[in-house]
Every structure is written in structure tokens, then in C-alpha cells.
Amino acid sequence: MLTGMTVTEADFKANATVLSGLRQYGWQYALIDAGWYMENPAGVNQETKRYVLDGDGRLTPAVDRFPSAAGEEGFKPLADWLHGKGLKFGIHVMPGVPKQAVVQNLPIAGSAFHAVDAADTSQTCSWDGEFYVAKDNVAGQAYYDSIMKLYADWGVDYIKLGCVSDHPFHPTRIRQITNGFSKKVENHAHAVALHYMYYNFCRIHQTLRVTPAMEAKIADHVWSVDKLITLLPKPVARPTTKDRELFLRALGETA
């Protein structure tokens, strides 16, 4: 994963070219971390960082740093290039509604709502106050649906979700974003990387004392790694002990 707010398309391609040589060892992903939507990452606030949004209030890549995104192409050309290298494409995503979209009261794609209908202006992400918490209502869900559709259209394979275990924790985010990916939990294997599923469905959260999925009321028990493996797109045999050990090792866990 490329971290740092100043990463450019050239940086990403150079890094991904090296990573593509590791495919034989099981490497699958190349990710762009937070800030890909900022024209001036060195700025001190949204006005000087210059967040880039489309007409529906969704963050889009800054063309000065990601030139292939010009012409409203978004990350699709870069994702296509990466897929041609045999790797999967990931981006960091901030939950919530950008303040800029609310100030301009931009429409929410695929709905009759606008940003002001979706944003709880009394709450922001604690480490990036430029994002309002999305309301737990139809408009808030519509906003998440709209950004997930955009990322799917770009060909994004992996979402690194920011501002999740925040203070306060907002369990509704997990449910809303889950619904944005798919209305059926079985389709998570196609929409979300296994790490996301493992973190939210299998791992007990230190503060919550349950999994985030249980806290959000979209699961009533702790899922097993075996169950996640059976959700992979291709039918597979019952996971072996070795399968489980390899999966946990990839997550930095122990059996």
C-alpha cells in the first residue's frame, strides 16, 4: 500500500510494477491510501487542500496527481492498468459525507435526496473534520449506495475503510456500508476483501467485547474463518487446517 497524502499516479505505477513481480509469492493487491482526492495535500483545511468532488458529492481523484482520471474517468483507467498487471486495485475510503458536498447541497446520485438530507452536521470524524457522519436514514444509505456504485464502476476490488474504530464508535456505519456493498451478505466475497470481513465478523473488538458486525446488529454470533473461506467465489472443499493457518498468517494473526 502506498501511504502519504502526496502519492501520484507515477508513484503508484512504479510501486505496483514492483509488486506485480511478487504475484508468484501470493501478492494480490496494490492500494492508494487517504488523500487521493486532494489537489494540494499540504493545505491546512479543505479549502486549501482543495478536495475534488463530482456533481453528486462523491470524492474523485485529483487530476493534477492522477492525470488518467481526467474527463470524469475516475480511477477506472488506473484500475484497468493494474488489472492488466495481474493485481487487484484498492483505495482508502472515508465514511461519511464531505462537508463541501453539504455546503453546496449537491444531489445524491440515484435518489431524490441531497447531501443535507444525508449528513449529521453535529458530528464529524475525529481525525478528519471535513467529513460529517452520515445519518442513519434513507438518505444516508443512498449516499453510501452511490459511492459504492461509483467505486464498482471504477473497478475497485478492495476498500480500506477509515475512521471506523473512532471515538465515538458509530456501528451504523458498518451496516450502511455493508448494505452499500450488497444487500446479501453472501456477496461480500465478491465486493470486499477477506480482511474487511474478518475484522468485522470474526474478530472480537477490544472495546465493544463483540464483533463490529454484532454491534451493528447484522450478525448474531462470531463467524469462523472456515465460514469466510467457504464464501469465496469459487466452490472449494472444506477448509483444511493448513488453509486456516495460511489465512490467519496473511492477516498477521495466529491460530
Domain residue limits, the chain: 190-255
pLDDT at residue 189 above 50?
Answer: no
Other Cβ atoms less than 10 A from the Cβ of 220: the count is: 8
pLDDT at residue 97 above 90?
Answer: yes
Q: Which of 42 and 39 is assigned the larger pLDDT?
A: 39
Per-residue pLDDT of 119-141, as tens digits, reads 999 988 777 778 898 898 999 99
pLDDT over 70 percentage in the chain: 78
Nearest alpha-carbon partner for 89 in 153, 137, 159, 36? 159
Tell me how far apart the 2 most distant CA atoms of the chain are, in Å.
Answer: 54
Q: Which of 167 and 161 is assigned the larger pLDDT?
A: 161
